[in-house]
Structure 1
Amino acid sequence: MLTARRIYWPPVNLVGPGSVKLVGEEIKKLGTKKALLVSDKVLNKIGVVKQVTDVLDQSGIAYAVFDDVKPNPTTTNVHDGLALYKKENCDFVITVGGGSPQDTGSGIGILATNGGNIADYEGVGKSKNKSVPIVAVSTTAGTAAEVTINYVITDEKRKVKMLMIDPNALPAIAVNDPELMLKKPKDLTAATGLDALTHAIEGYTARGAFELSDAIAFKSIELIGKYLVRAVENGSDLEARSGMSWGSYIAGLCYSNAGLGIVHSMAHQLGGEYDMPHGVANAMLLPYVMEFNMDACPEKFADIARALGVDTSTLTVEEAAEMAVKKVRQLSEKVGIPPLRHSAFQVEDVEKLAEQAMNDACTPANPKDVTKEDIAAIFMKAYNDTPKKG
C-alpha cells in the first residue's frame, strides 16, 4: 500500500452476453475511418468473424479482413498484416479471436506507429509511441490478451516466443461476449480455461501482486473452478460460458498489472520450439510449478485451495497449499489435458529450453528465486510423472 502504482486497464470494457452488439457505437467515438480486422481462417469459416462484421456493417464502419494468423502467431503474420493495413489505408485495428489474433493485432498496431521490425520490441516497454486504436474482441475465455499490456510473437528463425510487455499496446476497447464462445470444441475450451486459471494463480502469487490484483485473482479462481468443467462438457451452456468469460477477463486485468511467473516462461519455450498451443503448455506445467513455488508463499496457496472449494478449516497452511496443487491437477485431468510426455517435448532440448526460460520476461515476477537447473528439473518432473488419480 506504500508503493505508487500505474494500473493499466482498457478505457472501454464491454462484458457479458450480447456485448459485441455495442461495439459499433463505441468505435464511432474513436473518430477512426477504416479498420484492419485481424483473425484466423477457422473463425472466419465458422462464422464468428461474421458475427462481428455484421455489427460493423450495421454501424457503417469500413474494414478489411486479414485472416492469416497462425495458432502461435509469427513475425511473418505481423508484417503481412501490417502490409495489408497500409495497402487498405486503415487507421485502426479490430482483433477477433483468442490470443493469436489479439497478439498479432497488437504487433501490427505498434509497428503502424513506431516502424521497424516486430523483434525490435521484445522485452519491456520498447516502443516510444502509442499503438493505433485497437478494438479487441475475445472469442475464447483464456488468454485475456484483449485487456493486457502483453503480447507474444514467435520468431520463426530462432524458434523463440518473444514476449512484449508494453503499455502502448493496451487496447482502446475490450469486448468479452460469451455468446461468441458458444459451441467451441471441448479441447479448446479446456486449454483456454486452464490458461486463464494459470493467469489468475500466477498473478495472485507474483512478486508484483497487490491489493487489487489479489482481490480479482481470487474471484477469477473461484469462477474458473466453478464453471470450467461445465463449459467443457456442454459448449452451449451460456451460464458456464459467461462465468468463464468473466473469470478470464478479470484474470487478465490481474496479471497485466501484477505479472506472471515461470509457468509462462516455460510454456513460451514449448510454444516456440514445438508450436504447442499455449493453453495446453501452461496446463501441463502448472501443477509442477505450483509445487516448486508453494513454500515461498504458502498462505496464498492455501487461499487458492479455498477459492477452488476446499474446506481448509482443519488443515495446516502447508496442507492447504498442497491441496491447491492437488485440486489443479485433478481439474486438469478432468478436462482432458494430456501429460507432457504425450506432447512433442524432447528430453534432449531441456537445457536449451531452461536457459531460454530464464531469459523470459515473465521469470523475474516468479514468487521464488529460480535457476536454470530448477527449471530443467521441473520440465523433467512434468515429463516423467504419472499423476495419481483421485
Structure 2
Amino acid sequence: MVATIALPRLMRVGERAFEQLPLLLRELGLSKPLIVTDAYLNGTGRIAQAVEMLALSGINAGIFADTVPDPTVDSVMAGVRSLSNGEYDCVVGIGGGSPIDTAKAIAVIGRHGGVPADYKVPHVQDVPGLPIIAVPTTAGSGSEATRFTVITDGSTDEKMLCAGIAYLPIAAVIDYELTLTKPRRLTADTGIDSLTHAIEAYVSQRANPLSDRIALAAMELIAPNLRRVFDDGNDREAREAMMLGATLAGMAFSNASVALVHGMSRPIGAHFHVPHGLSNAMLLPAVTTWSSQGAIPRYARCARAMGVATDDEGDQASVARLLKELTSINRDLQVPTPAAWGISAERWDALVPVMTRQAIASGSPANNPRVPTAEDIAIIYQQIFA
C-alpha cells in the first residue's frame, strides 16, 4: 500500500510562538488576513493582541467573530459574506476546533462558491481555496493539522464531513500558553478527543507506517498528562505535552482516518448539541471494548504507548488494562453519560435509528478494525446511555 501523507507546510511550535504570527504571514507572502474566531476569544483581548501585532508589521486584518460551537451552515455562510466584503488573501482561524473548522470552510467556499452541502463527502476538495493558517487555543481537535472540516446542517441535524487537501492549513502556530486559561471541562473533553484521535488513527484499517509512529507518539504525550491538566490547569509542562500530543494526533488521523467512535459521535453532537470531545469521551470505552477483538495486537500496543501495560505482558492482558484505563479516565475526568448530561431516554431511544444511519453514512465505521452492523451500532448507543 502506498500512503499519501499531507502535513502543514510550516509550523511554529513552542512557548510564545503566537507572537511570531506576523512573521509567519510575511514568510508566506500574505498581507491581508481575515481572522476567524469566536465571541469569547474576541472578548478576552487575545484577538485585539493579534490585530495589533499584525498592524505593527504593516498587515491589516479583518475579524469575523461570529463562529459557533459545532459550526453551522448559517455561521459559515455569514463568514463567507464577511470575506467577500474585503480583499483578503488568507484566512486565519484562532480558537478551538470550531473556529478553525469554520475558517477552513470559509476559505474554500469563499473562493469556489456554493454552500457546505456541495462539499460533503463523498466529494473530495483538493483544489485549494484561500490559504488557511490555524492557531489552536485548545489541545484537542488537531484541526490545525488535518484535511477535514465538519459543518452541521441545522435543517437536518446532520454533521457533514468535508474532506480534501484544500482544508489542510498551510501553516499552524502551536503555542501551549494559549491553553493555560481553559476551564476543566473543556480541558478534559478536548484532551480525551485528542486521545481518541490517536487511538483510532492507530487501529484504523487505513493506518500506515508513518501515521502509526505519529499516533503512538501522541498517546505517549497525552495519556500521562490528561489527569495532570485536569487537576491543575497551570501545569505548564503538562499543558505543553497535551498541546503537542493533540497536534500529533491530528496529523495521525488526518493521514489514517478516524473510525467508529467518531462515526457514532457526530450524530450525538448534531441532535443533542453535546460538545464533540465530550461525545467522543462518552463512547470511547464502550466502542473500544466492542472493537478490540478485531485488532488485539494493535490495541495492546496502544496500552503500552499509554503506559498502562508493559512490554512483557501478553496482548490480551494489555487490552484488558487499556479498557480499564479508558473507564478510569472517564471517571476521573467526570465524563457524564448522555442521561447524566440531561438527555431524555425517550428522545434518545427515538433517535437511535436515525443516529445509526447517520453514523454509517459518515463512512468512519468502515475504517474500524471490526466493522459494525447497524444493529451493533444501535446496541452500543443503548449501552452508553446510562
What TM-score results when the alignment is normalised by the length of structure 1?
0.95
Alignment counterpart, residue 367 of structure 1, candidates 348, 366, 369: 369
CA distance in 2, matches of 1:273, 1:138: 26
Counterpart in the other structure of 1:126: 124
Superposed CA offset, 1:77-132 (max 9, x none): 11100101111221210000111001101100111221111110001453363120
Which secondary structure state, in structure 1, belongs to the residue aligned with residue 66 of structure 2?
A: coil
Q: Does 1:358 align with 2:357?
A: no
Which secondary structure state, in structure 2, belongs to the residue aligned with residue 123 of structure 1?
A: coil
Please, what is the CA RMSD of the aligned residues?
Answer: 1.4
Alignment counterpart, residue 107 of structure 1, candidates 105, 108, 116: 105
Give, as a single letter, the amino acid of the residue that structure 2 aligns with 1:358. Answer: I
Shift in Å, 1:29 = 2.5
Superposed CA offset, 1:318-362 (max 9, x none): 121121111111112111111222232612211111111010132
Q: Quick check: 1:114–1:128 contact (8 Å CA) kept in 2?
A: no
Superposed CA offset, 1:15-56 (max 9, x none): 111111222112012223311110000111123323433332
Superposed CA offset, 1:164-194 (max 9, x none): 1111111111111001111210000000000
Counterpart in the other structure of 2:137: 139
Shift in Å, 1:151 = 0.5
CA distance in 1, matches of 2:17, 2:268: 34
Alignment counterpart, residue 336 of structure 1, candidates 334, 337, 345: 334
CA distance in 2, matches of 1:80, 1:136: 19
Alignment counterpart, residue 63 of structure 1, candidates 45, 61, 65: 61
Question: For the structure 1 residues 111 and 380, does the alpha-carbon distance in structure 2 shift closer, same or farther, using more than 3 Å as the test?
Answer: same
Which segments of 5 or more consecutive residues in structure 1 lack a partner in the other structure? 385-390
CA distance in 2, matches of 1:245, 1:140: 7
CA distance in 1, matches of 2:126, 2:223: 40
Give, as a single letter, the amino acid of the residue that structure 1 aligns with 2:76. Answer: V
Instruction: Kindly report which structure 2 residues correspond to 1:1-390, keeping only aligned pairs within 5 A, or say none.
Output: 3-127=1-125, 129-312=127-310, 315-343=313-341, 344=343, 346-384=348-386
Give, as a single letter, the amino acid of the residue that structure 1 aligns with 2:220. Answer: E
- Stretch moving more, 69-78 or 316-325: 316-325
Q: Quick check: 2:309–2:321 contact (8 Å CA) kept in 1?
A: no
Q: Quick check: 1:308–1:327 contact (8 Å CA) kept in 2?
A: no
Q: Quick check: 1:200–1:255 contact (8 Å CA) kept in 2?
A: yes
Q: Quick check: 1:109–1:131 contact (8 Å CA) kept in 2?
A: yes
Identity %: 36
Question: For the structure 1 residues 165 and 29, does the alpha-carbon distance in structure 2 shift closer, same or farther, using more than 3 Å as the test?
Answer: same
- Stretch moving more, 339-348 or 17-26: 339-348
Q: Quick check: 1:302–1:320 contact (8 Å CA) kept in 2?
A: yes
Give, as a single letter, the amino acid of the residue that structure 2 aligns with 1:295. Answer: Q
CA distance in 2, matches of 1:106, 1:201: 25
Which secondary structure state, in structure 2, belongs to the residue aligned with residue 81 of structure 1?
A: helix
CA distance in 1, matches of 2:4, 2:306: 30
Q: Quick check: 1:140–1:189 contact (8 Å CA) kept in 2?
A: yes
Give, as a single letter, the amino acid of the residue that structure 1 aligns with 2:205. Answer: R
Shift in Å, 1:152 = 0.3
Q: Quick check: 1:113–1:129 contact (8 Å CA) kept in 2?
A: no
Superposed CA offset, 1:287-316 (max 9, x none): 111011101110111111112222345643
Q: Quick check: 2:304–2:311 contact (8 Å CA) kept in 1?
A: no
Q: Quick check: 1:142–1:193 contact (8 Å CA) kept in 2?
A: yes
Q: Quick check: 2:25–2:31 contact (8 Å CA) kept in 1?
A: no
CA distance in 2, matches of 1:232, 1:55: 31
Q: Quick check: 2:127–2:165 contact (8 Å CA) kept in 1?
A: no
Q: Quick check: 1:19–1:175 contact (8 Å CA) kept in 2?
A: yes
- Stretch moving more, 295-304 or 30-39: 30-39
Q: Quick check: 2:104–2:167 contact (8 Å CA) kept in 1?
A: yes
CA distance in 2, matches of 1:50, 1:124: 39
Q: Quick check: 2:261–2:280 contact (8 Å CA) kept in 1?
A: yes
Runs of 4+ in 1 over 4 A off after TM superposition: none
What TM-score results when the alignment is normalised by the length of structure 2?
0.96
Shift in Å, 1:4 = 1.8
CA distance in 1, matches of 2:185, 2:261: 20
Which secondary structure state, in structure 1, belongs to the residue aligned with residue 61 of structure 2?
A: strand
CA distance in 2, matches of 1:334, 1:284: 13
Give, as a single letter, the amino acid of the residue that structure 1 aligns with 2:31. Answer: K
Which secondary structure state, in structure 2, belongs to the residue aligned with residue 132 of structure 1?
A: coil
Counterpart in the other structure of 1:388: none
Which secondary structure state, in structure 2, belongs to the residue aligned with residue 9 of structure 1?
A: coil
Q: Quick check: 1:110–1:130 contact (8 Å CA) kept in 2?
A: yes
Q: How many residues align?
A: 382
